Amino acid sequence: MNKENLNLKVDIAGVELKNPITTASGTFGSGREYGEFIDLNQLGAVTVKGVSSIPWKGNPAPRIAETYGGMLNSVGLQNPGVEEFIKNDIPFLRQYDTKIIVNVAGKSIPEYCEVVERLSSADIDLIELNISCPNVKEGGVTFGTDVKMAHKVTKEVKRYAKQPLIVKLSPNVTDITEIARAVVEGGADAISLINTLLGMAIDIHKRKPILANVVGGFSGPAIKPVALRMVYQVAKAVSVPIIGMGGIATGEDAIEFLLAGAKAVAVGTANFRNPRASIDVLEGIKEYMKLYGIKSLDEIRAII
Amino acid sequence: MKEIKNALVVDNKLISPNIYSMTLDIKDIAQKAKAGQFVNLYCKAESRLLPRPISICEIDKEKGRIVLVYGVVGKGTEEFGNIKRGESIEVLGPLGNGFMIDETKRKNIIVGGGLGTPPLVELVKHLKGEVDVYLGFRSQAMLIEEFEKIGARVHIATDDGLEGFKGNVLELLKNNNAVGDIIYSCGPKPMLKAVAGWAKNNNIPMQVSLEERMACGIGACVGCVCKVKEKDEQDWQHKKVCKDGPVFWSDEVVWDE
């Protein structure tokens, strides 16, 4: 308990986070790099970069393009595979008093199931099913933009999951609430949103796309209004806990998401500008609570 | 804990068209930095989110200063170019691994191209034996005095022949019948690829400092990758330029782009 007597604890599908701050998958590695800048013990949870059944090489470079108030990436879920992850990253993260959320990537339903089954015996707290990555040709967003597929993959994966299952949604859909309902019916214990928006940037001097993959995922402060709107809509549509993300860089940003119905929030792209961003967001939330005499975030959550 | 620091800009002057030399008073970085490492510079404009990775041109450990030579290539570096002496800038570093300096080599060849030239200045200060610096530019050379001050022989090639040899740096190496025990290089990828081929044919080990679009600069985003061989051309992995590099051995890089 902190000395200000603020209650920051949140419960995500039976897992208690000491505070509502986690990291957005793919922006924080497995925490190692940021552990040199911040005390990882201060985070409610670390959400790690997506892991797949076997190592993935990802997309060719260039993979990064800055845009006004944001950026594009086309990394394509490069990762060393679930075995390496379990061997190297879980022991690292377990040194810290923070929960571990593992983002799971796959190209097919059996592949998602394989990773989740392997993780079921691993020492982790929550699983986040990534059906929303716009940078892989198969799997990823193709599951997250189709109501039936989203339902099916959630239902199948749920059979193998020992830990509570979060499903991460793509914003690249016409009606986010349809997908949210579908995954909850499929057995999702929580929802996280939003993943990146599909975007593009062109180098007018070379007359070529900046990204080798042509298109990529758009993130950063510029996307916050879209993310906030979708969190608000999903909070009205389903009753499972929501982890809100998309452009959060300050405590004020995070408060907006909590007011709109998020139970917890993730800090993503802001980490690239400011390696302390997650802690700054946490401090900003506390400031807000003190300013308005709020003792528990439940007092303001989803009141809009 | 590591942190982004505010550095005093001691100097920031135009040294060539669109190219600036910025001196930062930043003791902590100056004391840790090695030749071939880089720093992240952060923009004040919030619309420009990502740090700009800039190689370190010179390190003065006594005064606690570093010199950064950078080109204005977009809005971010344009912002840096407008910073006045006495102002401050946010900086993180040193980042990446520097050159792997081999003091046993008697004849060192340095190959630089355009904006890849700056980090080679600090490198040359630490080499033992003879140093021949081969630099390629489009039209106008830079940093020649800096190399000569250290006692290196400088050979210039320009595309238009306005300064030095008319042609590219590889043609200049061939023209001069350059010989050496090791090559250290930094510059555009097509130049590095071409020189790597020449180095291979002449059995000279070569280090290349690579550049790639980055987001974080600290190894977290996995944006700035290059292909590095495990065993052969087919068996390669994407390594991070910021964390695993930026310096690699030329024979471990897959030069397919």
Instruction: Report the CATH number at residue B114.
Output: 3.40.50.80
Surface-to-core class of residue A295, CB atoms within 10 Å of its CB (0-12 exposed, 13-18 middle, 19+ buried): exposed
Q: Which of B52, B79, B210, B238 to mutate to test the interface with A (most CBs of A within 10 A)?
A: B238
In chain B, residues with a C-beta closer than 8 Å to the C-beta of A71 are 49-50, 215
Q: Are residues B136 and B229 in the same domain?
A: yes
Q: Is A192 left (phi over 0), alpha (psi -120 to 50) or beta?
A: beta
Residue B237 in any domain: the answer is: yes
Omega into A62 within 30° of 0, i.e. cis? yes
Among the listed residues A40, A129, A133, A197, the single catalytic one is A133
Closest-CA residue of B relative to A38 is B1
Q: How far apart are CA A153 and CA A150, in angstroms?
A: 5
In chain B, residues with a C-beta closer than 8 Å to the C-beta of A27 are 220-221
Q: For chain A, report the end-to-end CA distance as a whole number of angstroms.
A: 28
Q: Where is A71: in which H helix or E strand? A: strand A70-73
Nearest to A64 among B92, B218, B223 (CB): B223
The bridge status of strand A190-193 relative to strand A165-168 is parallel
Most distant CA pair in chain B, distance: 52
Q: At what angle do helices A224-237 and A176-185 cross, to 10 degrees?
A: 50
Min Cα–Cα distance to chain A from B44, Å: 11
Q: List the one residue out of B254, B250, B248, B251 whose CA is nearest residue B233.
A: B254
Q: Are residues B46 and B147 in the same domain?
A: no
Chain A contact for B214, CB < 8 A? Answer: yes
Interface touch A66/B220, C-beta < 8 Å:
no
Chain A contact for B220, CB < 8 A? Answer: yes
Torsion angle (degrees, nearest 10) of CA A92, A98, A100, A103: -100
In chain B, residues with a C-beta closer than 8 Å to the C-beta of A34 are 220
Query: Helix H segments across chain A?
Result: 82-84, 90-93, 109-120, 141-144, 147-158, 176-185, 224-237, 251-260, 270-273, 277-291
Tokens of B198: 């020449």
Q: How far apart are CA B84 and CA A135, in angstroms?
A: 41
Q: Which of B95, B216, B224, B253 to mutate to test the interface with A (most CBs of A within 10 A)?
A: B216
Q: How far apart are CA A182 and CA A160, in angstroms?
A: 19
Residue A252 CA, distance from chain mean position: 19
Domain residues for B129?
107-252
What is the interface size between A and B, counted as CB pairs within 8 Å? Answer: 99
Q: Which of B70, B95, B120 is the last residue of a domain?
A: B95
Average pLDDT, rounded, for chain A: 96
pLDDT at residue A138, rounded to an integer: 67
Min Cα–Cα distance to chain A from B114, Å: 18
Nearest to A62 among B2, B92, B213 (CB): B213
Cβ pair A282, A262 in contact under 8 A: no
Tokens of B93: 């570093």
Tokens of B225: 């990758």
- Residues whose CB is less than 8 angstroms from the CB of residue A200 and which lie 6 or more positions away in sequence, other chains included: A72, A209, A211, A214, A215, A216
Q: How far apart are CA B55 and CA B211, in angstroms?
A: 10
Nearest to A37 among B3, B215, B225 (CB): B3
Torsion angle (degrees, nearest 10) of CA B58, B60, B64, B65: -30
Integer CA distances (angstroms), A11 to A126, A198, A232, A277, A302, in order? 12, 31, 19, 23, 15
Residue A1 has pLDDT above 50, yes or no: no
Residue A73 has pLDDT above 70, yes or no: yes
Q: Are residues B111 and B75 in the same domain?
A: no
Q: Are residues B70 and B112 in the same domain?
A: no
Tokens of A226: 């879209």
Residue B147 in any domain: the answer is: yes
Interface touch A271/B219, C-beta < 8 Å:
no
pLDDT at residue A132, rounded to an integer: 85
Residue B26 in any domain: the answer is: yes
Tokens of A269: 């792209």
Q: Is A118 left (phi over 0), alpha (psi -120 to 50) or beta?
A: alpha
Chain A contact for B2, CB < 8 A? Answer: yes
Nearest to B221 among A27, A39, A274 (CB): A27
Q: List the one residue out of A134, A185, A124 whose CA is nearest residue A158.
A: A185
Report the 10 Å Cβ neighbour count for A15: 20
Q: Are residues B171 and B87 in the same domain?
A: no
Q: Which of B74, B95, B116 is the last residue of a domain?
A: B95
User: Average of pLDDT values for A12-33?
Assistant: 98
- Which residues of A fall below an 8 Å CB-CB distance to B? 26-29, 33-34, 36-39, 49, 57-58, 60-66, 68-71, 73, 75, 78, 210, 220-221, 269, 271-276
In chain A, residues with a C-beta closer than 8 Å to the C-beta of B255 are none
Q: How many residues does chain B have?
A: 257
Q: Are residues B186 and B220 in the same domain?
A: yes
Integer CA distances (angstroms), B1 to B5, B180, B232, in order? 12, 42, 39
In this predicted model, what pLDDT tens digit does every residue of A184-208 receive, in sequence order?
A: 999 999 999 999 999 999 999 999 9
CATH label, A10-59+75-200+218-299, candidates 1.10.1520.10, 3.40.50.10090, 3.20.20.70, 2.60.120.590: 3.20.20.70
Min Cα–Cα distance to chain B from A213, Å: 12
Interface touch A66/B223, C-beta < 8 Å:
no
Residue B100 in any domain: the answer is: no
Interface touch B49/A73, C-beta < 8 Å:
no
Min Cα–Cα distance to chain B from A5, Å: 27
Chain A contact for B48, CB < 8 A? Answer: yes
Q: Are residues B124 and B209 in the same domain?
A: yes
Closest-CA residue of B relative to A28 is B220
Q: Which of B95, B126, B148 is the last residue of a domain?
A: B95
Q: Are residues B116 and B233 in the same domain?
A: yes
Chain A contact for B91, CB < 8 A? Answer: no
ipTM, 2 dp: 0.94
Q: What are the φ/ψ torsions at residue B228 (nearest 5 degrees)?
A: -120, 130
Interface touch B1/A57, C-beta < 8 Å:
no
Interface touch B213/A272, C-beta < 8 Å:
no
How does pLDDT run along chain B (257 residues), one tens digit per residue?
999 999 999 999 999 999 999 999 999 999 999 999 999 999 999 999 999 999 999 999 999 999 999 999 999 999 999 999 999 999 999 999 999 999 999 999 999 999 999 999 999 999 999 999 999 999 999 999 999 999 999 999 999 999 999 999 999 999 999 999 999 999 999 999 999 999 999 999 999 999 999 999 999 999 999 999 987 778 999 999 999 999 999 999 999 86
The whole-model pTM stands at 0.95
In this predicted model, what pLDDT tens digit does every residue of A249-267 receive, in sequence order?
A: 999 999 999 999 999 999 9
Known catalytic residue at A113: no
In chain A, residues with a C-beta closer than 8 Å to the C-beta of B234 are none
Nearest to A29 among B4, B51, B220 (CB): B220
Q: List the one residue out of A25, A194, A168 whose CA is nearest residue A102.
A: A25
Q: How many residues does chain A have?
A: 304
Q: Tell me, what DSSP letter sits at residue B253?
A: B
Q: Are residues B162 and B124 in the same domain?
A: yes
Tokens of A115: 């990773």
Q: Are residues B124 and B248 in the same domain?
A: yes
- Residues whose CB is less than 8 angstroms from the CB of residue A81 and which lie 6 or more positions away in sequence, other chains included: A51, A52, A53, A54, A55, A56
The secondary structure of A184-201 as a DSSP string is HHTT-SEEEE--PEEEE-
- The alpha-carbon radius of gyration of chain A (Å, integer) is 18
Provide the CATH number for the domain around residue B57.
2.40.30.10
Domain count for chain B: 2
Q: Are residues B75 and B190 in the same domain?
A: no
DSSP-derived 3-state class of residue A171: coil
Q: Tell me, what DSSP letter sits at residue A51?
A: B
In chain B, residues with a C-beta closer than 8 Å to the C-beta of A66 are 48-50, 76
Q: How far apart are CA B69 and CA A45, in angstroms?
A: 40
Q: How far apart are CA A225 and CA B243, in angstroms?
A: 33
Q: Are residues B54 and B166 in the same domain?
A: no
Interface touch B221/A75, C-beta < 8 Å:
yes
Nearest to A64 among B48, B214, B226 (CB): B214
Q: How far apart are CA B176 and CA B173, in angstroms?
A: 5
